[in-house]
Amino acid sequence: MSPLKKPANRKSSDDFVKSVTKALKQAAKEARRQAKIHGTKVWVMIDGKVVGLKP
């Protein structure tokens, strides 16, 4: 093994992925809430096309 590479710490990686997933879900929820408050659309990509949806 190269001295520059360390073995992957699986638990730390899993915890990181879980925390990032939680943060992204919270951000999406807040974006939908803000769009609803201001009467704007939420823009998402569906089947390779950008589509504006009502929240």
Look at 3 and 1; give whichever has higher pLDDT. 3
pLDDT tens readout for residues 32-41: 999 999 999 9
Q: How far is CA 2 from CA 5, 6, 13, 15, 37, in A?
A: 6, 8, 21, 26, 54
Domain boundaries, the chain: 13-53
The answer to whether the CB of 42 falls within 8 A of the CB of 35 is yes
Q: What is the largest distance, in Å, between two alpha-carbon atoms of the chain? A: 56
Over the stretch 3-14, which tens digit does the pLDDT of each residue have? 666 666 777 888
